Amino acid sequence: MVDRSSLIRQMIERWRDDPGATYQSWFLWDERIKNFRSIRRGIQQVVAEIEAGSFGVAYRGSSLETVVHSIAEQRQIFKGADHAFLWKPKLRIPDIYEHPVNQRAFGRLLHNCVCCDTAEDVIAHIRAIDSLKIKGLGPAVANLLYFLHPTLIPPFNTAIVNGYNALTSSKVKLGSWEQFLAMRSGILDLNDEYRDLLSNDLGAIGGLLFDIGSGRYPSPSPSDESSDDWINRLDAVRAEAHQLGKAQLARNDDDRTHSEVQAWLRDLGHALGYRIWIAANDRGRIHDGIPLGKNCLEHLPPEIAIAPGADAVRLIDVLWIAPDSPRVVAAFEVEHSTSIYSGIVRMLDLALSGGDIENVAELFLVAPDAREKDVRAQLARPAFSRIADLKIAYLPYAELASHREQIARFGSGMKAIRAISRPLSTLDGQNDDK
């Protein structure tokens, strides 16, 4: 009989190789890494608004909703992350909207966790908020803290709790910070035991527990079940998940389309005489048999690389940089299937990160034509009120596809790009039935 640790190791190895499981579909997904900085920036905005007394008394339309939606739309593992923050008036939870003292306590938790960098400090701040017994403000907040400290705090949801209980024969319950902290300790132990197959980033083991808890992978039984029986069950589940694998391939097609648009912008920028920067984590992505970063800058100009907000600049999908100076002429964020929230937040992060806004002359959110209504709806949100101060525009795929060759042949400078794009500050005044 094979020992249970060996069975778990077999399961993790199969899980890592499964294109439909969270390891490949989410943990290794390039957009996951790109969202960390923008989500952190969004959390800082929530803190600033609470401290200034301008946060308001509602979740809808708030900066918190923007951040939580950016998390919730990070593929299936965070689907529903916003449920815990939705205002439930009959229950008066979570009690951080109409209770100013509780709201400020929530802001202090986020601020303190942004500023600290040790597990002891984070846990101390968690215990401080727990001692206030704020109705409805439980471990769902850990999903915010994960994006601040991914090596210290695991993500949290019902499926992850169910997966942890199945794997460890525990009885962790939802809704309690004490229970969450106990589970966190157990997760760290598991992560240490199987570190060679997982990661320092607790998102990896969080994804494993999610797939176990959601029924995609059966946990080896702590009983005397034979290894053959368990492997047969594992194979059966994988067979049933074949269609999910096909769905993941479709999502990969989305990523390829994202790469295609990046390649369009790269080639067009070269034709117009600009130096091109491809997002640092996309440079090696293959499109039409060649890396996206071929013939592009290998390093940002030093003036940009050391400027405030440089970490955000490195992750913008495509930058057009002047041929004879370090000035960023245009920045493009391609949002094919990812959250419009994330694209807008990254643009704001770039423009408002403390550098000289004039150095980024024009910003473009590039998205399918069908997403214009979504773009318009998000820009009407108070959290994006600063958009009006920026030169940011919406560039539809169809316009870029139709005109890019003519612009490359006959265009010069930014005039033609402006002509086929739409200033975002005017979108909210257009007809929604368009």
- The Cα 370–Cα 314 span in angstroms is 28
Would you say residue 333 lies in a domain? yes
pLDDT for residue 315:
83
Mean pLDDT over 287-308 rounds to 88
Which domain covers residue 172, as residue numbers? Answer: 4-21+154-240
* 356 and 378 together in one domain: yes
- The Cα 202–Cα 149 span in angstroms is 9
pLDDT for residue 372:
77
* 178 and 306 together in one domain: no
* 126 and 208 together in one domain: no
Bridge partners (DSSP) of residue 275 are 321
* 406 and 272 together in one domain: yes
Which are the contacts of 313, defined by CB distance < 8 A and separation ≥ 6? 300, 304, 307, 319, 328, 331, 350
* 110 and 73 together in one domain: yes
> Which of 240, 270, 292 is where one domain is finished?
240
Kindly state the helix (H) or strand (E) to which residue 227 belongs, with its residue range. Answer: helix 227-240
- The Cα 146–Cα 157 span in angstroms is 12
Question: 3-state DSSP call for residue 36?
Answer: helix
* 181 and 258 together in one domain: no
Residue, of 273 and 79, whose pLDDT is higher:
273
* Angstrom distances, CA of residue 210 to CA of 150, 348, 396, 433: 16, 32, 36, 40
* 348 and 326 together in one domain: yes
- The Cα 261–Cα 130 span in angstroms is 47
Q: Is there a contact between 214 and 198 (Cβ–Cβ < 8 Å)?
A: no
Q: What average pLDDT is seen over the chain?
A: 83
Q: Is there a contact between 408 and 267 (Cβ–Cβ < 8 Å)?
A: yes
Task: Tell me the pLDDT band of 249, cut-offs 50, 70 and 90.
Answer: very low
Rounded to the nearest angstrom, the gap between the alpha carbon of residue 50 and the centroid of all alpha carbons in its chain is 23
Q: State pLDDT tens for residues 86-117.
A: 999 888 899 999 999 999 999 999 999 999 99
pLDDT for residue 345:
67
Q: Is there a contact between 221 and 326 (Cβ–Cβ < 8 Å)?
A: no
* 129 and 180 together in one domain: no
* 113 and 182 together in one domain: no
* 207 and 265 together in one domain: no
Would you say residue 245 lies in a domain? no
Would you say residue 83 lies in a domain? yes
Q: State pLDDT tens for residues 217-245.
A: 888 866 545 556 656 656 665 565 555 44
> Which of 213, 240, 267 is where one domain is finished?
240
Would you say residue 58 lies in a domain? yes
Residues in the chain: 434
* 80 and 168 together in one domain: no
Provide the token pair at 322. Answer: 């002047």
* 421 and 327 together in one domain: yes
Number of compact structural domains in the chain: 3
pLDDT for residue 353:
52
Would you say residue 355 lies in a domain? yes
Would you say residue 372 lies in a domain? yes
Which are the contacts of 351, defined by CB distance < 8 A and separation ≥ 6? 357, 360, 363, 390, 392
Specify the CATH number for the domain of residue 419.
3.40.91
Q: State pLDDT tens for residues 322-375.
A: 999 888 899 998 887 666 666 676 676 666 554 554 555 688 989 888 777 777
> Which of 120, 148, 176 is where one domain is finished?
148
Q: State pLDDT tens for residues 161-187.
A: 999 999 999 999 999 999 999 999 999
